[in-house]
Structure formats: C-alpha cells, structure tokens
Structure 1
Amino acid sequence: MQKTFKVVGVGLALGLAMSSILAGCSSKNETSSSPSAAPSASAAVSPAATTAPKLEPVELTWYLDNTPPADVATVEAAMNKILQEKLKVTLHLKFVDWGAYDQKMQVVNAAGENYDLAFTANWANNYYQNVSKGTFIPVDDLLQKYAPTILQTIPKIGWDAAKVNGKIYAIPNYQVWTMTNAIGFRKDLADKYGFKSENVKTLADLEPFLAQVKQNNPEMVPYEMDKAGTFGVNLVAYGFDEVAGRNIPGAIKLTDSSLKIVNQFESDEFKSYVNLMRDWNKKGYIRKDAATLADGQADRKAGKTASLSLGNMGPDDLDNPPNIGSTSYPSYVSRITQPYLLTSSIIATMTGISSTSKNPERAVMLLDLLFKDKELYNIFANGIEGKHYQKPEGYKKVDMKDSTYNPQFDWEIGNSFNSLFMSPTVADASIKMNQSAKGSPILGFTFDPNPVKAEIAQTATVTAQYIPLLTTGSADTAQFLPEFIDKLKKAGSDKIIAEEQKQIDAWKQTKGK
C-alpha cells in the first residue's frame, strides 16, 4: 500500500504496514479501465447507468483514515470543479489520524451523524461489524444503475470477498490485493553495518540490524511499533488467515485444507511473536511508550525510524523499494512470505456508503467517476502539479519541497491503477500477481457476525486492553498472555470460534470441499 510504509492496522494497520503500489500512467480525463483488468462477473449494466439524468446540486462528506494533509482545501476545490461540472456534487473531505480513526467512526456512527462515504476494512472501521450494526447500506442495485466503470473493472473475486449474506456493503478499492509480508529497513544503515537484505527470511532475522542501530544510533527507533502491534501485519508470515477481522478470535492455518478454526491468540505462533517482542522491548529496539503510541508517522518524518514491518507489497515496491518517511532515506525490502490472495487482504481497503446518507446514488456515482476520470483521481491522490509535486519524470513522483499535500493513499481511494506514477508494465504485473498468487483455503468466504455480535463486542474490550501490552512487548508474557486468553474465553471467544466453524463448514459444502 502506501509508499511511506503506513502499516496496515496498521492497518496493515498494514494499522496495514501498508505500502502503496503506484498505479498506471495515463493522460488526463482518459476513461478507459485499468490495463489487463479482469471483467466483472456482475450482471449487465442497466441503461440507467449510461444515461445521465438531470441532477440537482448536492453535498457529500467522505471520512478517510489518514493523517490530515495541511492543504486539503486546495485539493477539495480542484476536485469540486470537476465534480460540480459532471455530477453537481460538492465534496467535503474529512481526514482522521490513523490512530484515532476507529474511535472517531464509532462516535460518528453511534451519534447517527449524516455523512456519505467512509473508508472501511477488516482492520479499521471494521467492515463486518459495521454491516452487523446497519452502518452501511447494500450497494448491489446502486452499482448496477450508477457504476458501470466499477463493475467493468473489479474482478469477480473482489465482489465475492465483499459480500455478507450475499450482499455487497462496500466497494473494494482496486490495488494489489495479495498479501506479501515484508520488512523495510534503511539502506544507509544496512550498508554501514554490512547487513544483507537477503539474510532476512523471518521477522527474527532482523535482530542483528536492530542491535547495531541501538548500539550506534541511540537517538533512533530500531523497529517501529505502535499500540496496534505488528502481528496482524505479519499474519501470513506466521501462517494464518483471519476469519472475522483483525483482533477477532478465529483464524485458519494457510496449510490446513480441513479448515479447522483456531484461536490465533492461543497458538504457538502468537506466543512466539509476543515473546520476541518482549525480548526486543527489553533490549530497547522498540519505543518504551509503544503501547500508548497511536502511530509512528512523526518518527518516520523526523528520520528516526530504522525499520518496520510491511504488508501488501506489490511488484513496484519489491523491485524499487520506497523510502522510509523521507526522500533522504531509501530502504531495502526483504520479503518474508510469498504472495497470498486472501479475502482479508481484498477487504483491507474498501469504501462504504453510510445508512445516514441522503444521496447514496450520487455517492456511488462519485466513486464510479473516480474509477473513470484519471485527472480527478490524481488530484485526490497526489494534489496539484506544480504546487504539491513536480511535473512527472517518467513514472517517478517528485514532491515539492515541504509539500502540503502528500497523503500517499492511492490504495485507499478507488482504482490505484489510475495513478500517474506506475508504469503500464508494473500495473500489468500487479494485476497478474492478483490473478496468479496462491489463494487462501477460505478465499471467497465472508463471515456473518450477527449471531455472535455481542461476543465480538465483549472480546473487543479485552483485545483493546491486552493487544497493546502484549504485542509491543510492554508486559510480561508469562503473566499476561494466559490472563489475556482467560479473559477472551470469559468474553465469548469459544462461542465466536464455534460460529465461525459452523459458517465455514456450511460454506465448504457449497464449494464441494
């Protein structure tokens, strides 16, 4: 996902450490779909989708999970010039800091606030829980009427991943959907200490680099960590695919064709991870306040971050590693897994339409235009040429000095293959990776949380307390891990897992597995 390595659950994330792929090059206002995009298996688009009705002016509000850029007003104005002309829409962008987004959206939704669009995922503003609560509306009919470009662009597996009880409640953003766990670390430091990227096959293999950084650069943060931890970002590296969302009990092992649900927090793999983090914390490789730190953006911008975990690494990220936080610090990237295509990685970035929206039709039309109009997309993704970034040099983005708009969230806002800054070759390679990557045994399965929504809410209270302590190495594993598991059970984790198994078994029968 993003080029400055926002961790999913980071998101991812990955936060998702997420690294953004940079997307396909095109001239302004080009309306063709992405190169090599697989056709959707959806039904034919109705005539209404291609015949624009007379539109009345409306205002739309969009919530986004990203550090608020300083110059949002300029970008809004440029986008609205296009949107008012084509859709009679005035758009209001509401960016919310990574670490605050979940809580903010819980407040917004509980209050019944009127808004129209919101970023949703398995790791932020949880998609399944929002569906269970009625936060988002089903968009199947709206897509047929108002989103021909989206339907022609998103492959069938994207729609299958987004379905809950047969309906689509959010539109997947089109990007590198595979999950490829990796570690990024500063090239200058690795070269100085003779640390070879090819020697990093697991997360633990990073330790010699961390030790050198700690010894020789005491002002730096050897390994980036915030209160979300990085177990979710390294889920594939530890051999799991989640069933119901980040930090909800229930996962399957990627090598288990029987699809037996396990509690990942009771696994030997999770114990190994938290023991490693405890060791690294005691050695000073992790910030001592990591358990309360919202995110590591400030450290990256200040050039203090030496390494971090990554997810969703695309061909461009692996072949041309991005910088860590600053153009002054190029990185090495070591891939520690092969690409896997997961339901959870597809739904790691989506856009939902709020049930409080007064204009859901126009909201879907806006998303379709964002997939279609590359000028609109690139203003949103990159800002204004000459003000926020220099004229493109080939496919390399060059930011203006002290740029006031650089959200680096191509992966969060529609079809990232519309970006100015990915060559057609890389775009094709990324799409082929989506198509050829090994699939999770539960690829295409979506969980219905309604039967256990009370238990999910109860276990969420427990994970909110213990995940920051355990995954940042801030608490003694021997004491707090058994305590964590015990409290999860009392909150209903076994019931959640039983329901997940029931639904997986029913799904298996429909697939003939």
Structure 2
Amino acid sequence: MKKALVLILAFAMLLVVAAGCTQPSTSAPTSGPTAKPSGSETTKAAEPAKKIVYMYPATSGIPVELEKVNRAISDYTIGKINVDPTLSPIEIANYNTQAMLMITGNEDLDVMESMPGGPAHFTAMIANNQIKDLTELGPQYAPGIAKAVDAVNPGFMAGMTVGGRVYGYPALFDKVTNYYISLRKDVLDKHNLDLTKIKNGADLEAIVKVLAENESIPVLTAQTVDGDVLTAGTLIVNYDNFADNIIVDFFGSNVAMYGAVMGEDNTKVINYYESDLFKEQVEMTRRWYEAGYINRDAATQTETSVQIIAANGALGTLGAGEMGVETNYNNRTGKEMVTVKIADGIVNSGIVQKFVWTIPMTCDEDEAALKFLELTYTDEELVNMINYGIKGEHYVLDDQDRICLPEGVTLQNNPYNVNASFLFGSQYLAKVWETDRADLRAVVKELNKNVAVAPLMGFSVNTVPISDEIGQLRNVMDQYRPGLVAGSSDPAVALPEFLARLEAAGIGTVIAEVQSQVDAFVANR
C-alpha cells in the first residue's frame, strides 16, 4: 500500500512540474532551527517523504502528547532525510503478541526493537525468518550505525551476527548490567532501615520482613512481566554472598531456552533448570511468597515494576540495571527510591541482545527505514526529541545542560513521560537528568570501552535446526516458569513437572545442538 501511494504522489508531482508550479518548502522542525538546505537538499525535499512505522516497547505507558511530539519529529526528519516516521509504542506487556500479529499479518511495520525474551526476541525472529539480513543493507544505507557501535565497543557487533550474517544493531546503553534492589525511601526511613549495608540474602530478608510486617503494601514485585522476583533473567545472584559473582551465559535467552554455560572457563552446556542453584532460588522465592513479602500477582502482572510502584502496588523490586539506574527509578516511579547494587554483571551475548533494532520482513522501505534508524545513533537532536519531547514544553535544560521539567510540570502530569533512553539508538546522545552527574554518559562510555566480556561473547545460537523444539519449549516455559520464579507455584510439585515437560518437549535435543555449535565456535575462534 505504501508503494502504491508513493507512485500516485510521484505522478501527481509530475503534473505539477509540467504545469510550471513549484512545491512549497518543508517546514522547520518544532524543536529547533535548521540550516538553509543546499540545492541538492531542496531537490530531495520536493519529493514525497517516505513513510515508515517505528515500533518499540512502552515501559511507562503511552504518552498523552505522543502525536504532538511525533509531528515535531516528522518535521525534523523530513528536513534531514525526507523520511516521515510514525512512532508506534506498544505497552511492554503486549509487545511480543502485537509484534507477532503485525509481522504475520504483513502490516505496515518498518523498524522494530526486539525484546529480551519471547517470540520477539532477536534470535527467535531470526529463526522464524521475520527480520531482514542487514549484512549488505546496513553498510549501503546506514553505515553510521555500525561505526557508532564500534566506537563504544567493537565486540558488541559480534552479538548481532548469526551464521556470519548481521541481523540487527544493539541499542547502545550501558552494557555493564548489574543487579539492584530498589525500595521506597520513605518506608525505609520510617522503620530506620539501612539498605546500603546488606551483604547477602539474609540481610535483605531481615529488611523485607520488617516492611512486610508493618506496611499494608506488598514489599516486592517482579521487575518486568516475566515473573522474576529473586531470579534475574540473564543474571544470577549469589544470595549467600552478593560479592561472589556467578558467571553464566544463557546465549541471549532470558528464560534459559537454549541451556546455559556456568563458570568462567567452562564450555559445557547444561539445562539450568536441573541445577541445584535454580532449585534453591525458587525454593527461597516460594518461602518469601508464603511469608507475604511478594506481590501475589507477580507471576501474571501486565505492568512493569515502576508502574506498579508508582500506583502503590508494591514498595520495591529487584532487577537488572545500569549506572544511573537510581535516577531512572526515581523518575519513572515518581517516588524517592533507595537503590543499591547487590551483584555485578558480565557482558555476554544475552546482554548485547537484550534490545536490538531490526528491520522486519514487512518493511518495503529499506533505505528510508535504515536512514531513520541511523539518525537515532548519530543525531543528538532527534534522540532527545524521542526521549524527552519538545524543548520548552516537555523539558528545559539547567546550567549544566541537564534535563529538568518546566515549571508546573511533574513526572506524574508530564504529557510526554517516556524515561527510557536505553531503548532508542544511542543513549550516549541523550541528555542526562538534573539528578545525574553531568558527565554520566562519558563515564559510562569509557566503562563500556574497557569492559570484560564473557568467554563465549559473539556466540549466537543458530535456532533453525531446533525451531520445532523451541516452539514446544516456549509453551512449557510459559506455563510453568512464571509461577516458579514469582513464588506462587510450589517447587516441590511444580519443578519436577516442569522438568519432565521440558524433557518431553525436547530440551535434550536443544542442548545437544547448542553444545555442538559451542564446540565449533570454540574450535574456530
């Protein structure tokens, strides 16, 4: 349909030119001035703008003034690259489902971000032939993206490659992902509790117990919609001693779909759900759930923790985050939180593949889609519009060039409250909040340039030979895993059933295939 519209518009333009008319110039962007276009740019602006749909998960709801900001962004990008994007945020709880419906229904969708898990995960979409091979298309239309990624860490692009082909670009945020506990400051102060002194799970439980016994709101809820309360997706926490890291690589799956390798120098692939560690952690979660520490609906929650905390549905959460997460929690919940790191992470393929920008098979405007995506990695003005809206209306800057809210605007009533700069292109182009250190982006970038990576960094599972088994395993995991990791299922009953169903669904076949791929990767490294 988009191609047909372009042809009609092109024909109409020919008639206009034949009649001796000229086209009006493109209007200036709402968010700021632009330079006078050169002759070649004027010719380009006379062509109809290419329309694309740009889809991403909404982690704080859909902004009230999305359409207004979208118009400002369109004005800006039409002037820069003659591309007119439609921003299409989808509530994160519905994102996997909606993405699959759009792709299978061949709807208008040109640029989309992958999810940390589920059918919209990066490797799952590769296996299902739902996203395009960008090995040639990327350098042809958007060479600036790979350059921007390599400028942070050349190793990150290795996680975008499967079978020697490139299928996407990582969202550039702090990949040094650690594990944090975040609780409301007012309740901690009320009971004279010091979260900063915790060293292990027993210390944390002592604090949670006091809050559970004295507050009417559940203490903890899952960070995202996958049910994980004390477990951490691609990170594993040592609750015996937070300082003692557990090295693990789940090959990009936040639900251990492809097995796992545990240990610094190990390459043996195991079924993580059969491990003593998983059993111990779900037993601990169950005990906390029965003690009343955990939101009873954590396994089935359809909102993220920040939304639940903002609505007084929980006092806090445990989960993965990056440097500056303290400000992020404060801004997104609208409450003052105390956030403390309890475990260090390691950069592996799973972290790099957490959020990946891709071009779905539904795209029929490859050049326009990639050029717009390239701007999100190279153009500071665009990145800040997507993240913060229109300057002077949705945000202002302080004397250190940091983001502040205009007078009368709060986090609760801000009509363009996105607060997810980690999602869009390069976060290193996004301005920081007034509560952040002014040099935060530079510090984080330097940290990522020198970060240690996992031994199997760059390895990605080729899921084509095991696609049938993965589909069956996903159904089993959807049924059993959320209840186990949220504490609502009794592991004495549910865990043996879960393991038996995984075996029947073919997890042994998957692990054998992944092991052969790991062995080949190590041999050829």
Structure 2 gaps, min length 5: 1-30, 36-43, 239-245
Equivalent residue of 2:221, what SS? coil
Alpha-carbon deviation of 1:111?
1.8
| More displaced 10-residue stretch of structure 1: 293-302 or 341-350 | 293-302
**Shift of the alpha carbon at 1:291?**
2.2
Instruction: Tell me which residue corresponds to 1:10.
Output: none
- CA distance 1:176–1:55, shift in 2 (3 Å): farther
TM-score of the aligned structures, taking structure 1 as reference length: 0.84
Matched, 1:187 2:174: no
Equivalence for 1:469: 483
Matches within 5 A, 1:86-485: 86-123=80-117, 125-155=120-150, 156-203=154-201, 205-218=203-216, 220-225=217-222, 227-230=225-228, 231-233=231-233, 235-237=235-237, 239=246, 240-295=248-303, 296-314=305-323, 316-317=324-325, 322-323=329-330, 325-327=332-334, 329-392=335-398, 394=400, 396-399=402-405, 400-401=409-410, 402-421=413-432, 425-485=439-499
**SS of alignment partner, residue 91 of structure 1:** strand
What's the % identity of the aligned pairs?
22
User: What is the deviation of 1:253?
Assistant: 4.3
Give the 3-state SS of the residue equivalent to 1:249 in structure 2: coil
The equivalent of 1:57 in structure 2 is 49
**Contact 2:309/2:316 (<8 A) preserved:** no
TM-aligned CA deviation for residue 120 of structure 1: 0.5
After superposition, the CA RMSD in angstroms is: 2.5
- How much does 1:54 deviate? 8.8
Distance in 2, Cα, partners of 1:481 & 1:252? 18
Q: Normalising by the residue count of structure 2, what TM-score does the alignment of the two structures yield?
A: 0.82
Deviation string 1:21-72 (CA, Å, 9 cap, x unpaired) is: xxxxxx97999xxxxxxxxxxxxxxxxxxxx899642110112111222211
Could you tell me whether the CA contact under 8 Å between 1:62 and 1:115 is conserved in 2?
A: yes
Q: Which moved more, 1:454-463 or 1:174-183?
A: 174-183
Please identify the structure whose Cα radius of gyration is greater. Answer: 2
- Provide the rounded CA distance (Å) in 2 between the counterparts of 1:357 and 1:324: 35
Q: Is the 8 A contact 1:129 1:449 kept in 2?
A: yes
Q: Which has the higher contact order (CA 8 A, sep 6+)?
A: 1
The one-letter amino acid paired with 2:391 is E
* Matched-pair contact (CA < 8 Å) for 2:400–2:438: no
Q: Which residue of 2 aligns with 1:78?
A: 72
- Return the alpha-carbon distance in structure 2 between the equivalents of residues 438 and 54 of structure 1: 49
What is the CA-CA distance between 1:406 and the residue it aligns to?
Answer: 1.1
Change (3 A) 1:97 1:333: same
Which segment drifts farther, 331-340 or 131-140? 331-340
Q: 1:479, CA displacement in angstroms?
A: 0.3
